[in-house]
Structure 1
Amino acid sequence: MTARLDALRHWAASHHGLEARPPELEIVTDDASFRRYFRLHLGNANSRILMDAPPERENSQAFVDIARQWRSHGIQVPELYHVDLDQGFIEMQDLGDDMLRQHLAREDQRETLMMQAISTSVTIAALPVDTLPAYDDRWLTDELELFPQWCLTRWLDIATPESWPQVRDQLVAALTAQPQVCVHRDFHAQNLMCHDEQLWVIDFQGAVHGPLAYDLVSLLRDRNNAWFESDQARWIEAWRQKAQAAGIITSVGLEAFRRMVDLTGAQRSLKVLGLFCRLALRDDKPRYLTLLPLFVEHVRQGLTAQPGFEAFMQWFDTCFVPELDARLIQYRTDRHES
């Protein structure tokens, strides 16, 4: 890893006449993939963000292609200054550290910024999809299977309920039946930056041709406590109306759209429960375990009132949640004692 960081430093230095003394890099963040991000300080308050994406692990071509296409369609994404796909290095515009999530905690800013995020999401949904992979039934099924594989079996060591295959197939069918649009796929408040009084979109390399409600769900039901129902209902209806005005949908009623949102939220949250356990167990990123209870609540919000999921939700509330709570308590105790 040190050798790769040195290579990144020298690569960045070569673009700014700093070869004689390659600059130190400030760690910005890593994410749920194998990408890492660093800040390059150039003096005079100028800086750039460097992406380190090992080419054997990450496909940076998608990032570059989507950045250029979306920018040409007016989406605020960071400008790319230097790209080396062979090494997996990208130098891009520094948007700062001011995430939308930080602003949503302030009631005086929340509504205005949420409506901006909703408008951006609708604009993305209307973008061309001809070069994007299809978020199809096989892909959605594989994602859902992360839940029994990693959360139930590997993390909790409990049996998968008999109702699981039916639940999985119902959710996949519900998502593939939606109108299929351009989907960012990680459109949450950590991937929306507040910069120059505008919202900017990052981490878009996973964009797909997928379910209509997916990005809205990512925005409303991610790493934050559930919003009040009145807030969610208002934002869901605002998204639907903006999508109708943009010609993305024509005849989807509010009740039908709300069902799309709830079932999409359940699929995404069950996937995340498995994904975060995999990140902790396989990739040594245990911090993701602390987020599991949030997605438990998102599953409840999506499925509790939905017909056809009664047996699964009974198991979820009476078996899964107590086992998860006990395991998390034990995990925190073990970490404290060590």
Structure 2
Amino acid sequence: MSSYRINALTVWAAQQNGLSQADISLSSAVGDASFRRYFRLTLPDGTTQVVMDAPPEQEDSQPFVNIAKRWRSAGLPVPKVHATNLTDGFLLLEDLGNTPLQNLFNDDATTQAYHAQALALIAELQNRADPDSLPAYNTALLGRELDLFPEWCLSAWLTLPPPDSWHTVREQLIQHALAQPVVTVHRDFDAMNLMVHEQRLFMIDFQDAVAGPLSYDLISLLRGRYCRFSSEQFADFVDTFYRQARSDGRLSSSVDFATFLTQCHAMAAQRSLKVLGIFCRLTLRDQKSGYLERLPHFLDHLEDSLSHLTEQAEFAEWVNRSLRPAIMQRLAEVL
């Protein structure tokens, strides 16, 4: 980040609080996989705010602002937007502290309890936030996401051709997603995007929210970066979600648990394939480090999901016999 830009950001943040640049201090908070960066602003009385730097030529912050205001008005736990400068790409936000949810996964009991709390938050999001104003998570978008896998993971990083079954797999996973009720989808409901603040979970990084499948955020949570649950644990969490969704009307009583569980495994396979592609793209195109090391974790997620999809047996065998050895060999060469 240029000194000119950080100076402009500091001056703007001070002005929003009726202060001069000399009255405040700014320290780096955290970055993410995009071009956004975050800084912690400390005011003379010791209170803090967060300044988001999102260069407008690379990041459109308008969806974040719009969604934050709508969700906050609906009573959902998201940071308050204090001020915006969309021309320069500066946002002044409520400070939710330094505790993303994964920092509290200290033991099995605590991890289980926080995941149950997060499941309740998904229900709250889906029941309170109207999906109509959001982009549709439709066939085209689901397909573009799946295509990241052969484009970036197989071709660009591994130089491995896709299996003959790929086209069928792609279409079947899309159909499983489209068969589900359409709700508001955060789209990256992983522990890293849930901040623990004043004993409550707050959602961040929701600018890519869409109107899409009921199970997507559930899968983002259960098949995320930080945990790998057994088949039994996964099914128990899905059952809790299923029962609540049935009781509050998000899911029709005509959908039995076995059907919904299959849809969840298919959604998990879709997301794992997308993530494998994204992590390779972040490495190759965006020159970001630390993502290749996470590939085996999502490869595990993919195999866990495929093992419950009998229609994907041929693809699952290819993943085990061809994809896994290729990824592990390539990692051994580059890490």
TM bin (shorter chain): over 0.9
Q: How far apart are residue 173 of structure 1 and its match? A: 1.2
Determine if the alignment matches structure 1 residue 80 to structure 2 residue 81.
yes
Q: How far apart are residue 328 of structure 1 and its match? A: 0.5
The amino acid of 2:105's aligned partner reads L
Q: Is the 8 A contact 2:23 2:44 kept in 1?
A: no
Listed as ranges, the matches of 1:100-115 within 5 Å are 100-115=101-116
Listed as ranges, the matches of 1:64-143 within 5 Å are 64-126=65-127, 127-143=129-145
The farther-off stretch of 191-200 and 22-31 is: 22-31
The amino acid of 1:323's aligned partner reads A
1:215 is aligned to 217
Q: How far apart are residue 23 of structure 1 and its match? A: 4.3
2:31 & 2:146 partners in 1: Cα distance?
A: 24
Aligned residues: 332
Q: How far apart are residue 259 of structure 1 and its match? A: 0.6
Q: Is the 8 A contact 1:10 1:22 kept in 2?
A: no
Identity %: 42
Listed as ranges, the matches of 1:257-336 within 5 Å are 257-332=260-335
Q: Is the 8 A contact 1:9 1:22 kept in 2?
A: no
2:57 is aligned to 56
Determine if the alignment matches structure 1 residue 145 to structure 2 residue 147.
yes
Determine if the alignment matches structure 1 residue 199 to structure 2 residue 201.
yes
Q: How far apart are residue 149 of structure 1 and its match? A: 0.6
1:180 & 1:20 partners in 2: Cα distance?
A: 47
The amino acid of 2:151's aligned partner reads Q
Aligned pair partner of 2:257 in 244, 247, 254: 254
Aligned pair partner of 1:235 in 227, 234, 237: 237
1:46 & 1:290 partners in 2: Cα distance?
A: 37
Q: How far apart are residue 218 of structure 1 and its match? A: 0.3
2:207 & 2:21 partners in 1: Cα distance?
A: 34
| Matched position secondary structure for 1:305 | coil
Alpha-carbon deviations, 1:26-82, whole Å to 9, x = none?
222211222111111114431111111112222211111111111111111111111
The amino acid of 1:138's aligned partner reads A
Q: How far apart are residue 19 of structure 1 and its match? A: 2.7
Alpha-carbon deviations, 1:222-273, whole Å to 9, x = none?
1024113332222111111111222111222111111111000000000000
Q: Is the 8 A contact 2:10 2:21 kept in 1?
A: no
Q: How far apart are residue 12 of structure 1 and its match? A: 0.8
2:23 & 2:36 partners in 1: Cα distance?
A: 21
Q: How far apart are residue 295 of structure 1 and its match? A: 0.6
Alpha-carbon deviations, 1:90-109, whole Å to 9, x = none?
10111111111121233343
2:227 & 2:296 partners in 1: Cα distance?
A: 9
2:161 is aligned to 159
Moved over 6 A (4+): none
1:179 is aligned to 181
Q: How far apart are residue 8 of structure 1 and its match? A: 1.1
RMSD: 1.4
2:329 & 2:227 partners in 1: Cα distance?
A: 20
| Matched position secondary structure for 1:37 | strand
Determine if the alignment matches structure 1 residue 245 to structure 2 residue 243.
no
2:94 & 2:81 partners in 1: Cα distance?
A: 6
Q: TM-score, normalised by structure 1?
A: 0.94
1:6 & 1:148 partners in 2: Cα distance?
A: 42
Q: How far apart are residue 110 of structure 1 and its match? A: 2.6
1:224 is aligned to 226
- CA separation of 1:15 and 1:311: change in aligned 2, threshold 3 A: same
Q: Is the 8 A contact 2:191 2:226 kept in 1?
A: no
Q: How far apart are residue 219 of structure 1 and its match? A: 0.4
2:40 & 2:136 partners in 1: Cα distance?
A: 34
Residue segments in structure 1 that go unaligned for 5+ positions in a row: 333-338
Q: TM-score, normalised by structure 2?
A: 0.95
